[in-house]
C-alpha cells in the first residue's frame, strides 16, 4: 500500500512538473458581474479567464474557521496583485474570480500574476480605475434579470415576483471604490459600510432614489448593495431597464428588474387607444414613385391605391417629400422615407427633408405635428443576424409613434412581431403599423397591407389625430370590425371566421379562440401589455390591434 501511495505521489509530481504554467492576458480580466473588460478597480470583484489557472474540478470560496475572511489560496491557486494575495471566490482551470485588493487604491495600474501548484504566469499589467460598476444578473451573463431582492420580504425579484411601484429593492453589483470606514480585504461584511462616492440609479429611465449604497452585510467585500426606491410612475413589466451610476461611471446596459403596479390586480382596468368613431378608413403609409426608386409616377401610384379601395395614401419617396399629385377621391398625406445611419424611418404629413441623427428627426417631426415610425426592422437579412434596426438602436431612441409590424415587400422578413414584443416587454409604449412598401404597383404584394384608422371624417386633421392617438389597426389583409375595452375586458370582432390570439409580455399567447367572429380576454392586471392578433382561417391573412395596458385606480 505504501508503494502504491508513493507511486501516486510521484505521478502527481511529474504531472505538475509537465503542466504548462498559468496563462492569461489583460483583456481577459473582466468585471465579475457585467463581464465588461478594460480597467479594474480596487475592491472590485473580477473574473480572470485563461488556461492552467487552477484545478480541473472547480473549487468555491472557502472561509476562515471563524467565518469572517475569504481564503487567498484555493485549490492550489493564488492571485497576486503587486505581490498582494487577493481573496478568492472561485477557481478552475480556465476561470478564477477574485476581489482586487482594496490597498491598491490610488494606483493607475497593477501587475497581476496567477500561481497554480507552484507555477507562475508571467506578470500582466492591468490598468486601474477608481470605480467600474457592473450589476450581477440571475443568469450570470451580465444581461437580463438583475440580482435583486424585493423588500420587505427579501424575495428574489423576477418575472412572477415583481417589485411594486414605490417599493424598495436591494440590487447587488461589483463596482470597486472603497467604503467608509475602509473595508478590509477578504472580509465578510458584518455591518453597513457606506460607499462615499455619489451613487444614482434609474429604473425604466426614471430616477430611482438611492437609500443606501455600500458593503453588503453577510457578503464578501467586493459585493456592493444598493437599496433603491422604485419610482411611483416607473414602467411595469418583467424586463424594465435598470442602471447604476457610481462616481459618474454608469453600469453597462442590458440589466432589468421586474416591476408591477402598486395596487392589487383586482382593481386594475385597461387603458385603450380605441374610441368609437363614425368611419373606418383604409390607408397606405409606405409606397414609392418615380421621384425616388418607384416604377410609376406619383399620380399613377395614388390612383392605383384609390381604385383598390384605399381612402388615404402617403407617398414616402426616399429623401424627398413628393407634392400632392391631385388625384380626386383619395386623401393625400405628404410623407418621406429617410435613413439616418442606414436606419429607415417614415415621416408622415411633414413639409421637408431633415438632416441629423434618428432622435433629431423624431424630435423635429413631433414638433411639426407629424407622425413617425420605424421601417422594416427585420429587413434585409433577418433578425438577429442582419436587421435594419438592432434592438439596441431601437432602445436608444424614444418618442417615435410605432413600428412596422408588417411590411409586404420584405418577405420572408415581413413579420416583425418579435421586435415589437421585445420593446413592449421592456416597458416601451408604441403602435403597430402594416404597409406595402410598394415600388411597383404591378407587384402582387402591393395593395395587400394597410393601416386602418377609426375616424369621424376623411380629413387630414382627423386622420392624423387618430393615427397619433393609436386609434387604428394594422392589417396584412384581415379585417378588425371593432375593438372595445371595458374595465378589465378586451373584446375584438372580425367579419370572417378567424383564430383570435391575445398576446402579452415576451410575445406570449395567453388566450386563443379558434374559428370565431369575436373573442374577449379578461386581464389579471399583472400583464405588461395586451395586444390582439387575428388570423383569418380561410387564407391566414392577419390583423393586429395596438396594445392596451393594465392600470390601477
User: What does each of the 553 residues of the chain score in pLDDT, given as a tens digit?
Assistant: 444 344 333 333 434 444 589 999 999 999 999 999 989 998 899 999 999 999 999 999 898 888 888 899 999 999 999 999 999 999 999 999 999 998 888 899 999 999 999 899 999 999 999 899 999 999 999 999 999 999 877 899 999 899 988 888 999 999 877 766 666 787 887 777 788 889 999 999 999 999 888 888 888 888 989 999 999 889 999 999 999 999 999 999 999 999 987 755 456 789 999 999 999 999 999 999 999 999 999 999 999 999 999 999 999 999 999 999 999 999 999 999 999 999 999 999 999 999 999 999 999 999 999 999 999 999 998 888 889 999 999 999 999 999 999 999 999 999 999 999 999 998 899 999 999 999 999 999 999 999 999 999 999 999 999 999 999 999 999 999 999 998 889 999 999 999 999 999 999 999 999 999 999 999 988 788 999 999 999 999 999 999 999 886 5
Last residue of some domain: 95, 128, 161? 128
Three-state SS for 507?
helix
C-alpha–C-alpha distance, residues 324 and 327, integer Å: 8
C-alpha–C-alpha distance, residues 11 and 282, integer Å: 81
In the numeric block, which cell numbers belong to residue 179? 467604503
Torsions phi, psi of 426, nearest 5?
Answer: -85, 10
Asked if 306 and 434 sit in the same domain, the reply is yes
Q: Which helix (H) or strand (E) holds 15?
A: helix 2-18
Asked if 324 and 464 sit in the same domain, the reply is yes
Burial class from Cβ neighbours inside 10 Å (0-12, 13-18, 19+) for residue 123 reads: middle
In a domain, 495, yes or no: no
CA distances from 530 to 88, 234, 395 (A): 47, 18, 20
The alpha carbon dihedral of 92, 98, 104, 110 has a sign of: positive
Bridge partner residues of 94 (DSSP): none
Which pLDDT belongs to residue 426? 86
Name residue, grid cell 450570470: 140
In a domain, 504, yes or no: no
C-alpha–C-alpha distance, residues 134 and 32, integer Å: 8
Asked if 347 and 445 sit in the same domain, the reply is yes
Omega of the bond leading into 216 within 30 degrees of 0 (cis): no
Residue closest to 128 by CA, chosen among 39, 211, 17: 39
Contact 92, 53 (CB under 8 A): yes
Asked if 185 and 245 sit in the same domain, the reply is yes
- DSSP-derived secondary structure letter, 76: T
C-alpha–C-alpha distance, residues 403 and 414, integer Å: 12
Contact 433, 546 (CB under 8 A): no
C-alpha–C-alpha distance, residues 337 and 150, integer Å: 46
- DSSP-derived secondary structure letter, 49: E
C-alpha–C-alpha distance, residues 282 and 304, integer Å: 14
Name residue, grid cell 484545478: 55
Q: What is the CATH number of the domain that holds 157?
A: 2.60.40
Last residue of some domain: 415, 443, 477? 477
Which pLDDT belongs to residue 446? 98
In a domain, 536, yes or no: no
Asked if 99 and 217 sit in the same domain, the reply is no
Domain assignment of residue 222, given as a range: 132-263
Length of the chain: 553
Asked if 373 and 286 sit in the same domain, the reply is yes
- DSSP-derived secondary structure letter, 418: H
Residues 6+ positions from 108 with CB-CB distance below 8 Å: 127, 128
Asked if 96 and 146 sit in the same domain, the reply is no
Asked if 85 and 162 sit in the same domain, the reply is no
Which pLDDT belongs to residue 263? 59
Asked if 177 and 314 sit in the same domain, the reply is no
In a domain, 297, yes or no: yes
pTM for this structure?
Answer: 0.58
C-alpha–C-alpha distance, residues 140 and 385, integer Å: 24
CA atoms within 13 A on the CB side of 419: 30
In a domain, 543, yes or no: no
Count of the separate structural domains present in the chain: 3
In a domain, 514, yes or no: no
In the numeric block, which cell numbers belong to residue 60? 468555491
Asked if 137 and 256 sit in the same domain, the reply is yes
CA-based max dimension of the chain: 104
Last residue of some domain: 263, 293, 324? 263
In a domain, 172, yes or no: yes
Asked if 325 and 426 sit in the same domain, the reply is yes
Name residue, grid cell 423588500: 151
In a domain, 393, yes or no: yes
C-alpha–C-alpha distance, residues 420 and 399, integer Å: 15
Question: Vertex 385, ends 380 and 386: CA angle to 5°?
Answer: 30
Torsions phi, psi of 494, nearest 5?
Answer: -140, 170
Which pLDDT belongs to residue 441? 98
Contact 124, 113 (CB under 8 A): yes
Asked if 251 and 167 sit in the same domain, the reply is yes
Amino acid at each position: 500500500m505504501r508503494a502504491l501511495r508513493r507511486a501516486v505521489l510521484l505521478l502527481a509530481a511529474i504531472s505538475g512538473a509537465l503542466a504548462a504554467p498559468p496563462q492569461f492576458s489583460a483583456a481577459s480580466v473582466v468585471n465579475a458581474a457585467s463581464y465588461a473588460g478594460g480597467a479594474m478597480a480596487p475592491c472590485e470583484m473580477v473574473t480572470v479567464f485563461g488556461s492552467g489557472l487552477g484545478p480541473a474540478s472547480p473549487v468555491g470560496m472557502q472561509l476562515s474557521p471563524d467565518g469572517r475572511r475569504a481564503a487567498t489560496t484555493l485549490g492550489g491557486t493564488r492571485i497576486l496583485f503587486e505581490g498582494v494575495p487577493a481573496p478568492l471566490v472561485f477557481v478552475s482551470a480556465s476561470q478564477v474570480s477574485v476581489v482586487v485588493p482594496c490597498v491598491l487604491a490610488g494606483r493607475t495600474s497593477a501587475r497581476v500574476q496567477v500561481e497554480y501548484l507552484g507555477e507562475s504566469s508571467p506578470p500582466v499589467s492591468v490598468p486601474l480605475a477608481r470605480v467600474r460598476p457592473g450589476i450581477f444578473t440571475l443568469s450570470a451573463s451580465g444581461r437580463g434579470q438583475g440580482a435583486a431582492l424585493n423588500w420587505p420580504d427579501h424575495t428574489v425579484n423576477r418575472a412572477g415576483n415583481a417589485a411594486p411601484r414605490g417599493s424598495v429593492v436591494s440590487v447587488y453589483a461589483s463596482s470597486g471604490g472603497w467604503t467608509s470606514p475602509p473595508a478590509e480585504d477578504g472580509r465578510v461584511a458584518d455591518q453597513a459600510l457606506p460607499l462615499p462616492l455619489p451613487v444614482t440609479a434609474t429604473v425604466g429611465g426614471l430616477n430611482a432614489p438611492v437609500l443606501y449604497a455600500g458593503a453588503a452585510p453577510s457578503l464578501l467585500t467586493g459585493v456592493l448593495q444598493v437599496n433603491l426606491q422604485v419610482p411611483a410612475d416607473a414602467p411595469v413589466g418583467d424586463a424594465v431597464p435598470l442602471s447604476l451610476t457610481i462616481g459618474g461611471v454608469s453600469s453597462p446596459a442590458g440589466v432589468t428588474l421586474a416591476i408591477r403596479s402598486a395596487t392589487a390586480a383586482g382593481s386594475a382596468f385597461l387603458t385603450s387607444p380605441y374610441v368609437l368613431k363614425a368611419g373606418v378608413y383604409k390607408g397606405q403609409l409606405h409606397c414609392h414613385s418615380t421621384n425616388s426608386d418607384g416604377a410609376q409616377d406619383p399620380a399613377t401610384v395614388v390612383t392605383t391605391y384609390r381604385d383598390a379601395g384605399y381612402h388615404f395614401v402617403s407617398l414616402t419617396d426616399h429623401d424627398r417629400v413628393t407634392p400632392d399629385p391631385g388625384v380626386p377621391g383619395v386623401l393625400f398625406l405628404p410623407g418621406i422615407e429617410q435613413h439616418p445611419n442606414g436606419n429607415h424611418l417614415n415621416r408622415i404629413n411633414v413639409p421637408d427633408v431633415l438632416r441629423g441623427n434618428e432622435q433629431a428627426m423624431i424630435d423635429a417631426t413631433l414638433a411639426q405635428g407629424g407622425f413617425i415610425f420605424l421601417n422594416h426592422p427585420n429587413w434585409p437579412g433577418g433578425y438577429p443576424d442582419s436587421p435594419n434596426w438592432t434592438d439596441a438602436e431601437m432602445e436608444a431612441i424614444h418618442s417615435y409613434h410605432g413600428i412596422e409590424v408588417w411590411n409586404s415587400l420584405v418577405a420572408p422578413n415581413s413579420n416583425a412581431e418579435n421586435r415589437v414584443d421585445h420593446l413592449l416587454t421592456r416597458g416601451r409604449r408604441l403602435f403597430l403599423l402594416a404597409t406595402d412598401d410598394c415600388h411597383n404597383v404591378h407587384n402582387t404584394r402591393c395593395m395587400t397591407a394597410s393601416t386602418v384608422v377609426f375616424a369621424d371624417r376623411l380629413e387630414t386633421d382627423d386622420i392624423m389625430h387618430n393615427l397619433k392617438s393609436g386609434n387604428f389597426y394594422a392589417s396584412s389583409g384581415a379585417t378588425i370590425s371593432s375593438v372595445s375595452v371595458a374595465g378589465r375586458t378586451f373584446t375584438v370582432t372580425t367579419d370572417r371566421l378567424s383564430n383570435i390570439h391575445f398576446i402579452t409580455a415576451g410575445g406570449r399567447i395567453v388566450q386563443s379562440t379558434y374559428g370565431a367572429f369575436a373573442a374577449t380576454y379578461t386581464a389579471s392586471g399583472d400583464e405588461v401589455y395586451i395586444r390582439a392578433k387575428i388570423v383569418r382561417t380561410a387564407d391566414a391573412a392577419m390583423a393586429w390591434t395596438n396594445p392596451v395596458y393594465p392600470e390601477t385606480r
